[in-house]
Structure 1
């Protein structure tokens, strides 16, 4: 085998590794160290095979334009297969990244062809092809800082599109662009006109940088919405704190009144006990206990804001005649932010209160908030006899009366703490169960 053919096969293999590197670089944060090591082993072993196969193919075809383009157009598939195995369940991101990497490669190949047309017009076909692959690898290394920055921002920008239909459109559009471009270059022609060379450079370049601008704009829009939402949550949190403060002040006032009447209470109890009226004494004691706890902020947890949120809404529910069942067990020193949890609990309790208050008897709200190791569970159920409109994510649509408002805070909470929610509505009950890992946020 001619050493120049072997060198050419090695260059082609390095070009395929360069292609897959950019896609791997975009996915690297999703991969475990073990998955990275496995991917590296598979790519290394396959690259040896791919080099031998390419060398044999070019030996048989004597390095023709057709064999060169065939290897470029189909050689990426096995490499992509290994990457898909390393990062499964990411179909749309894979389609999106493959398309964008193809367009990026087309730009570099187009620049290589322009350089060839300027300086290697009279060279033989094998020399031209080998020189083109060498120029491609050189340009890839030269543009690597730009390409790394570009591909590093693709998936975070893609994740901002939460609608599945929009995500499909964003992923498929560059793929269709890629297919159309492949049709244009799938020929046996070595030299094209200058108009074609310039067009093949400008077309993918314009698309890539326009798409990058669109993704950047989407990111800015998302950030503005996020900041607006955080301001809204902060304002809501301040309202809860203020209401909690007012309840605490009212508690102190009520306590002072009870202290002022404590001597009278003892006197009445002493008189009742002296006359032997035990039932009347017990009823009087129960009456005093109800007064003390009517508006109290109860110590459900070690977190004051969470206690205030729970106490406020359970007190409102009790005032409306709604039966309350709660089971709360949270340890001290949780990693979950107290403010995030209080806003989530308050929003969900408000929804449950709205839904139950207008419902039929019997009316009931059940709140379970448990911590088991690193796993947290929040389950909220309430009676509800209306109809709910669900969104694509299986949760009630925002803005719907009862269990609509607050879904945005739930989605943000699930995103931040890598949690998930299970929602059901059956037999007159609405139930939402939220699971999340109680881990420190980076």
Structure 2
């Protein structure tokens, strides 16, 4: 093999072995990246990999360094930068998370490099270290590959609720600790470690222990934050259900009081009708009966569906819509014994409430809410959500809305307004619990949320 081909092969192996560690910068945030940006990002990443390989070959062959191992050692300090910047810019609103991951990469890389130097110096003390640089690259790459799935799992779980944690300023203070350790480690590695690998072994082992303990402590702290958030959301949902039930009971009492008032006045109504009959006032009789019928109708609560929980939730929120003069179109046909009715009533409450809030921001002639729910059947021609097995529950809630709607990585609306957004979290939990399909879409001036649940899926009957 010619020298140029040998250098190219080694450089390619070197760059490829480093890619898993570089991917730690983007994979935990991959779900946060907009769908239309993913393919261009992958193409840019491949282009950078090819460019870095060519740059490495050029620098190694340039003679700027006293030896090839020295060249690879120096290149290792800069070759990570393009991928880091690409990941940073693609998901820059999570910048503190990228710095956090970078700090851990630096700490672990320092430990790995010290370990590989000790390994070769211990087992081959008589061999020239320079002559074994290719095996050093493989050893270092092996350390990275072994640690990659563990680190990816840690970072992905840690940043799974990044939006909520960022609001608590958790990361901006937590990230300072590994960053300071990383700066100290880099200083020691560059200026004080080239001839003191055995002296640094104990320090690197302690550093690795500190890193592991810090990862465990941060993960535990994050879990407590997430548990607190989850408990708050569940409490909010329970309060919402209690308030909805209380309002429904109040409306029922008011309806009963109106009916009792009509009943108390029944003799007056009969006398009035008899007088009109004696006068042979046929028009007056019909008019009076119609007025009396309307009065009776006003005592009845709407019956949207046979399921009591869902009917109560819809009654409360759609009554608010009528009070605010918002036109509504309702067609709900759900069974009485629906097993997920408790969770579904919360989801529907949140969706209709969100539609009410959004409609309140529209001009009066641009207010409209539609709620459709069917068991089985095809309400929408949305092939991406089509299922082939089991009885399907199809739910559509839509409202007119002119403003743009920002969707997160899961396709759910996001808001920066403090105290809002809990409804979408309840929808996400419903989706995960029951294996539902959810589509949120802004189309033709309408914002719609389409929910499809396979009633035969595992979890629906829990």
Equivalent of 2:150 in 146, 150, 154: 146
* Per-residue Cα deviation, 1:351-396 (whole angstroms, up to 9, x for no partner): xxxxxxxxxxxxxxx985346989956699xxxxxxxxxxxx764x
Partner Cα separation in structure 1 for residue 109 and residue 4 of structure 2: 28
Residues 25 and 162 of structure 1, relative CA distance in 2, 3 Å threshold: closer
Shift of 1:221: 3.7
Q: 1:95 to 1:6 in 2, by over 3 A?
A: same
Please name the residue that 1:293 is paired with.
298
Secondary structure at the residue paired with 1:438? strand
Over the aligned positions, Cα root-mean-square deviation in angstroms equals 5.0
Name the CA distance, whole Å, in 2 between partners of 1:171 and 1:259.
71
C-alpha deviation, 1:332, in angstroms: 4.2
1:58, 1:67 within 8 Å by CA — same for their partners in 2? Answer: yes
* 1:342 Cα deviation after fit: 1.7
- 2:50 corresponds to: 48
Deviation, structure 1 residue 161: 0.4
C-alpha offsets along residues 326-355 of structure 1, whole Å, 9 cap, x if unaligned?
3223554899943223257679999xxxxx
User: CA–CA distance in 2 between the matches of 1:53 and 1:157?
Assistant: 38
Secondary structure (helix, strand or coil) at the match of 1:74 reads: coil
Shift of the alpha carbon at 1:136? Answer: 0.8
1:191 equivalent in structure 2: 195
C-alpha contact (below 8 Å) 1:233/1:343 kept by paired residues? no
Q: Distance in 1 between matches of 2:284 and 2:212?
A: 83
Asked whether the equivalents of residues 110 and 201 of structure 1 are also in contact (C-alpha less than 8 Å), the reply is no
Pair 324,231 (structure 1): closer, same or farther in 2 beyond 3 Å: closer
Matched ranges for 1:139-178 at <5 A: 139-156=143-160, 158-163=162-167, 165-178=169-182
| Mapped partners of 1:331, 1:137: distance in 2 | 61
- Assess, with a 3 A threshold, how the Cα gap between structure 1 residues 272 and 174 changes in structure 2: closer, same or farther: farther
Q: CA separation in 2, counterparts of 1:174 and 1:92?
A: 12
Match of 2:346 in 1: 339
C-alpha contact (below 8 Å) 1:103/1:205 kept by paired residues? no
In structure 2, how many angstroms separate the alpha carbons of the residues matched to 1:312 and 1:3?
75
Is 2:440 the counterpart of 1:438?
Answer: no
CA contact (8 A) 2:330 2:371 kept: yes
Aligned residues: 392
Distance 1:310 1:84, change over 3 A: same
Please, which runs of 5 or more residues in structure 2 have no aligned partner? 335-339, 358-365, 373-379, 383-395, 402-414, 430-437, 455-462
- State how far apart, in whole Å, the 1-side matches of 2:355 and 2:158 are: 34
2:328 equivalent in structure 1: 328
Deviation of 1:99 after TM superposition, in Å, equals 3.0
Aligned twin of 1:101: 105
TM-score scaled to structure 2, two decimals? 0.64
CA distance in 2, matches of 1:2, 1:314: 75
- Change in Cα spacing, 1:440 to 1:191, as seen in structure 2 (3 Å) is farther
**Offset at 1:9?**
1.9
Change (3 A) 1:312 1:135: closer
Q: If the length of structure 1 is used for normalisation, what is the TM-score?
A: 0.67
Residues in 2 aligned to 1:41 and 1:285: alpha-carbon distance in whole angstroms: 72
Give me the whole-angstrom Cα distance separating, in 2, the residues matched to 1:330 and 1:63.
77
Partner of 1:329, secondary structure, is: strand
Residues 408-417 or 161-170, more deviating:
408-417
Q: How far apart, in 1, do the equivalents of 2:425 and 2:90 lie?
A: 28
Partners in 2 of 1:315 and 1:3 — Cα distance?
77
Please state whether the residue corresponding to 1:214 is helix, strand or coil.
helix
- Candidates 9, 12, 32, aligned match of 1:10: 12
